[in-house]
Amino acid sequence: MRLPPVFLITHSPRQTQILGEKIAARLQPGDILLLHGDLGAGKTELVRGLAVGLGAPPDAVSSPTFALVHEYPTRIPLIHVDLYRLPVMEAEFILELEEYWQRPVVVVIEWAERLGEELPEDYLDITLTWTEDQERSLEIRGAGRRGKELAEVCEA
Ligand code: ADP
Ligand code: MG
């Protein structure tokens, strides 16, 4: 059964982080989050909330200074992938990602549209859109059983 998406508005970076913390409280090893949205949409703010919710200090996440993948040593290890600099997916990297799907970690991917067809079965999908200076709209969809459970967490 396909559930309708969850729509949310946040009115500050902190509110977007708080959504991340709320999701983090329910994350399990193996969960995957795919983030979409232009530069400045708030993807990294959401990742900051996830990391804090999983036990990282707030300054652990900065807008990526890393090339592709950064791992935070959180309660459940958080793998933060940013595909901005990788417009075309390389076969080698696709294999690396598929290995993450199998590990007891949480994976969050910015610019997930660049995955193309290489999608896992279960994931939470969040598209962030700039609406005003401090306001963002979020469209949240869950795929598979876990994705749907996590989408419900966002709704409550
Ligand atoms: P992205 O990773 O999508 O490029 P960032 O999270 O790095 O975006 O940046 C978002 C920017 O927008 C930050 O400077 C943040 O302070 C600002 N901002 C303003 N309002 C919001 C909001 N409601 N949610 C998230 N970020 C916001
Ligand atoms: Mg970012």
- In whole angstroms, give the CA distance from residue 98 to residue 13: 31
Q: Is 125 exposed, middle or buried (0-12, 13-18, 19+ CB in 10 A)?
A: buried
Q: Is 2 exposed, middle or buried (0-12, 13-18, 19+ CB in 10 A)?
A: exposed
Over 70: is that where the pLDDT of 1 sits? Answer: no
The verdict on ipTM greater than 0.85 is yes
The number of the ligand 1 atom at minimal distance from the alpha carbon of 39 is: 4
Over 80: is that where the pLDDT of 156 sits? Answer: no
Query: What is the pTM (predicted TM-score) of this model?
Result: 0.94
C-alpha 145 to ligand 1 mean position (Å): 29
Distance of CA 42 to the CA centre of its chain: 11
Query: If you average pLDDT over residues 134-144, what whole number do you get?
Result: 97
Residue with tokens 């609406």: 131
Over 90: is that where the pLDDT of 96 sits? Answer: no
The number of the ligand 1 atom at minimal distance from the alpha carbon of 16 is: 24
Q: What CATH topology corresponds to 6-155? A: Rossmann fold (3.40.50)
Higher pLDDT, 1 or 89: 89
C-alpha 1 to ligand 2 mean position (Å): 32
